[in-house]
Amino acid sequence: MSADEEQPEPDAHVGTEGEGATAELFGTWDVTNIEFSDPSTERYISVTPVAHTMGRHAGKQFQKSEVSIVERLINRLMQTEENTGKKQQTMKIVRNAFDIVHERTEENPVQVLVRAVENAAPREETVRLKYGGISVPKAVDVAPQRRVDQSLKFIAEGAYGASFKTATDAEEALAQQLIGAADYDVQAYAINQKEEKERVAAAAR
């Protein structure tokens, strides 16, 4: 290609280094200045402007941590009877929920999601050990990657439970779960489940 030929324009939402680089999720939300308050889970919470990687991480045990936390939430929300396999529909639910979160908190909804995941991640849980045929519960620390997995599970379950066969829209239910978990509201399903797991673990120490 000669120097006179026209060069292709870069992505409208992802600038290049040195040109005020920006990375925007859904073409709206900036993901370059997200703050993390939990050092243990920070490396397992990836924030990128890509919300659909088409399963490139499938089959690789730890590569899921490199997938955007937003896409992982979308994938979790798809694991229900109503949304199974409907990624475009689920992405629309998350996009609309983010709009509601921003409208009510005036914060970047990606930051709210990261804070919600950190707050809802359990630090302890129980396993069952057998001693001479007797099953005994034992408290164990939760690995950081599993903490993130459990947190996303609680948020998705809370949103599904609040919207299934109710007058509450899925977008509204998800927004309520994200805001509640980000504010550490014990009435939120995700925080309630985390507290319950840790309470049971504390009794099994």
Question: pLDDT per residue over 112-137, tens digit each?
Answer: 999 999 999 999 999 988 888 888 88
Dump pLDDT digits (tens) for 178-198: 999 999 999 999 999 999 999
CA-CA-CA-CA torsion sign (12, 29, 67, 87): negative
Q: What is the largest CA-CA distance in the chain?
A: 81
- Show the DSSP H helices in 5-143 as ranges: 39-42, 69-77, 87-105, 109-120
Dump pLDDT digits (tens) for 13-42: 444 333 344 568 887 888 888 899 999 899
Looking at residue 115, its pLDDT comes to 95
pLDDT band per the 50, 70, 90 thresholds, residue 142: very high
* pTM for the structure as a whole: 0.81
Q: Are 155 and 177 in contact (CB under 8 A)?
A: yes
Average confidence (pLDDT) over 61-67: 78
Looking at residue 7, its pLDDT comes to 44
Helix (H, G, I), strand (E, B) or coil at 140: strand
205/4: higher pLDDT: 205
Average confidence (pLDDT) over 58-87: 80
Of 3-17, 67-81, 95-109, 145-159, the poorest mean pLDDT is in 3-17
What radius of gyration, in Å, describes the C-alpha atoms of the chain? 20
Sequence letter at residue 162: A
Query: How do the domains of the chain map onto residue ranges?
Result: 24-203
What is the C-alpha to C-alpha distance for residues 172 and 175, in angstroms, rounded to an integer? 5
Helices 109-120 and 170-182 meet at what angle, rounded to 10? 60
Spacing of C-alpha 169 from chain mean position: 19
- Output the CA angle 43-93-191, nearest 5 degrees: 50
Average confidence (pLDDT) over 70-92: 84
Place of tokens 């977008």: 171
Assigned token pair, 190? 């995700």
pLDDT at 55 over 80: no
- Output the CA angle 142-144-59, nearest 5 degrees: 105
Looking at residue 58, its pLDDT comes to 64
Looking at residue 16, its pLDDT comes to 35
CATH class of 24-203: mainly alpha
Residue 129 main-chain phi, psi, to 5 deg: -110, 145
